Amino acid sequence: MDERNAIEVKLAASLKSLAVKHPFEKITIKQITDGAGVIRVTFYNHFQDKYDLLEWIMRTEILEPVQILLANSMFREAVVLIFRNMQKEKEFYMHIVNMEGQNSFSEMAERGIEEILRYAIGETELTGKADKSWLSPEFVSKYYAKAMTFVVVEWIRTGMKIPPDEMARAYEYIATRSLEEIVREIRG
């Protein structure tokens, strides 16, 4: 691990530690740097603000590890890994999930998931499908990012009681069926 990455990891660990004790909005850069054993200037050499640090945590610990799985069409395994990695830091995610406003947890998660899905889908174009010209990689990644974010946020808010493998199966079930099929099954 290079020095730059080591400092980022220290800052991330400090923020995680603080977030389980204090509301995220009340955490200061000074508290983060004190916990990491660095000075304020060092923080700003790596991140714009604490929200940028939080996005870095989510990107490096949750989203980047699934890139290789998505690139190899291992979607279920990627979803399981997302849930497992979040569960490893359960207390942290339980505290930050309710962040509201412009830099809410939901917004950050959705942006990250959308980015990773767009990477997985690639820059392919639908050829010969004039009736589905709206069905672009951007549209599909936005749609599934919103759905996945909803599932993740609800799972966290309900205490992460359902095991990651089971959550992945539930998500896969909903994502691979039409609304009509699900309504028929619910009604019996």
pLDDT of residue 31: 98
pLDDT at 1: 66
pLDDT, tens digit, for every residue of 98-156? 988 778 999 999 999 998 888 887 755 555 555 666 778 888 889 999 999 999 999 99
pLDDT, average across residues 64-87 = 92
| pLDDT greater than 90 at residue 59 | yes
pLDDT of residue 127: 53
Q: What is the predicted pLDDT for the residue at 121? A: 79
pLDDT band with cut points at 50, 70 and 90 for residue 163: very high
> Helices 75-88 and 164-175 meet at what angle, rounded to 10?
140
For 68, phi then psi, to 5°, come to -65, -35
| Residues whose CB is less than 8 angstroms from the CB of residue 40 and which lie 6 or more positions away in sequence, other chains included | 29, 30, 33
**Average pLDDT, stretch 76-104?**
93
73-187 domain in CATH 1.10.357.10? yes
- Percent of the chain, pLDDT > 70? 93
pTM across the whole model: 0.86
Rounded average pLDDT over 82-91: 96
Mean pLDDT highest for which of 62-71, 81-90, 126-135? Answer: 81-90
Measured from the Cβ of residue 53, the count of other Cβ atoms closer than 10 Å reads 22
Share of the chain above pLDDT 90, in %: 66
Q: Is 160 helix (H, G, I), strand (E, B) or coil?
A: coil
CA distance 35 to 141: 37
Q: What pLDDT score was predicted for residue 103?
A: 87
d(CA 2, CA 7): 9
Q: Is the pLDDT of residue 94 over 90?
A: yes
pLDDT at 16 over 70: yes
